[in-house]
A and B are shown apart, each in its own frame.
Chain A
Amino acid sequence: MNTPQFHRMGTRAILVESQQPQADLRTQQVYWAFDQRAADLPGLVESVPGMNNLLLIFEAMEYRENALADLHHYWGASIEQSSARDARQITVGVLYGGALGKDLPILAERARLSVDEFVMRHAAVEYTVFCLGAHPGFAYLSGLHESLHAPRQNAPRPQVSAGSVAIGGSQTGVIAANMPSGWNLIGATDTTFFDHRNEPPALLAPGDRVRFEVRGIEA
């Protein structure tokens, strides 16, 4: 496993990241263990797991500087002891295509697949939640089949509905808020991924397994 880089971000944060072309599960598991180990560091305000990286934010610069040596040590220990998380399995019912999945026919054509075949491939995989981020409740999923990769739209759409199932480059996910997005829309779900009144507010957590279930396909 590559030694990660330790970057100072601003005056109070450290970003520990592994530079590689694709995020992999083994590395992510090390980051999950690393995140847990670092949770007790003095002056830590919060930590943010990313795709094969971890951002640690401290109250003040002194805490950050003091933590650097410990973090290098923790990283080594995390490689030894990383383990898979207790994964929950969550099924998300999706209506593919239609008004809320209007890019589906174009994506299928580009992939040289029938719409049905494209949908079957998307729904055949069990995806792993690597981390949450970007907007409230959005999960970065790993596992999208290579044949379904699709470049983002040239310009983001100004408003995409919460619950849109989308593909952006090599990633797929469910957009969890009404917001602009440049991802390709292939369907819609009525599952709610974030509600601040719930505890925890986000439906998904890192390590969870997600499967999309075909509720219907509209051409």
Chain B
Amino acid sequence: MIEIIKCMPGCTVQDAGRFGYRRLGVGSAGAMDGLALATGNILLGNDAHAAALEIIFFPLEIRFQEDCAFSFTGAGQAVLDGQALPGWWKGTARRGQLLRLESLGSGGIGYLCLAGGVAVETVLKSASTDLKGVFGGVQGRMLKLGDVLAVHPRTVTVDAGDFGAVPYENGQGALRVLPGFEFAALPEAMQAQVFSSDWQISRQSNRIGFLLEGPRMKFDVPVELLSYGVLPGLIQLPPSGQPVVMLADAQTCGGYPRLGTLIDSDLRRLAQSAPGSSIQLRICTLEEAAEAEASERQYLARLSRMREVVCP
């Protein structure tokens, strides 16, 4: 068990997401940086999709009420009883120890995984918190001071000390977009602007979507659409002219015109970018998107093999 000693808003229990219920209006929720979650779980010998704490605003402080191995991946810095730990690290806490997760000042999302995985009720096949539906995670809400969370009994008993992962090397530069839908209906000058502009991530961004502030985009003739199924990564253009990139808590159906889709690898990078910072977009091909996905799979597979070597 762990107890939350200090907590900012936005901290939730998330796993890889909830699938199969979009047709009932239930979105996926789940970790916004699935690769960081999977890495943290693999370091512990957990199922890669096991539930963990997602931290959007730091600091978070927890007290261990039992001996427990943990890992911390993504953005931020872990400090155990005053001792700073390396990034993307698997550590071991003794009962009574205090773990503080703090910001490194550059924004981003952190994942605290616990050996065995955070034990919460599985709702519709997932532990992820659905804030809109108010279910999953801890009573469908953000964590708060005084919450006590249990962990699943460990399936792996061998503990080979503490070690870390080399963080996945994200691509640099512009975030990759598969253009489509109404993109071709934008005036040509604006089509070019989508990929030549600096887009500032609005401070109103959240788990539902990231708003991009920059040149206002408008269709010559307003586009009216019937409501259609929406997925994270889809870039919508509401009448405000300010594009929105859908994220994990996006509604399952929407009606705004669409410019294309951010590829999954770069949707993670966007989610890890601090509100107020700037990003660029560029066109990519399906082949390029497939390569990016394969590269992530290889990273996780390599990590699993290495862990088996360290903890046979």
Contacts and interface: CB of A to CB of B under 8 A. Distances in A.
A50 B227 CA distance: 6
Interface stretch (A40-48, A89-97, A106-114, A143-151): A40-48
Interface residues of B, number: 39
Given A10-B231, A55-B231, A136 B23 contact: no
A133 B25 contact: yes
Interface in A137-185: 137-138, 140, 176-179
Contacts of A10: 178, 231, 233-234, 261, 263-264, 289
B310 interface: no
Interface in B231-251: 231, 233-234, 251
Given A11-B264, A176-B25, A45 B228 contact: no
B133 A135 contact: yes
B264 A133 contact: no
A85 to B, nearest CB: 14
Contacts of B154: none
Residue among B20, B254, B286 with most chain A CB within 10 A: B286
Interface string A28-64: 0000000000000000011111111111010001000
Contacts of B19: 45-46
A153 to B, nearest CB: 14
B224 A136 contact: no
Interface string B4-47: 00000000000000011111111000000000000000000000
B167 to A, nearest CB: 23
Contacts of A11: 178, 261, 263-264, 286, 289-290, 293
Given A48-B229, A196-B123, A8 B25 contact: no
Given A133-B251, A134-B252, A53 B264 contact: no
A131 interface: yes
A135 B226 contact: no
Contacts of A53: 226, 228-229
A45 B181 CA distance: 22
Contacts of B227: 50-51, 131, 133-134, 140
Say which size band chain A's interface belongs to. 35 or more
Contact of B261 (A9, A17, A50): A9
A177 B293 CA distance: 35
A136 B261 contact: no
Contact of A48 (B22, B135, B180): B22
A173 B286 CA distance: 38
Contact of A23 (B20, B226, B229, B264): B226
A2 interface: no
A79 interface: no
19 contacts: A46-B19, A46-B21, A46-B22, A50-B228, A50-B253, A61-B293, A132-B23, A132-B24, A132-B25, A133-B227, A133-B251, A136-B130, A136-B132, A136-B133, A137-B24, A137-B25, A176-B25, A201-B124, A202-B24
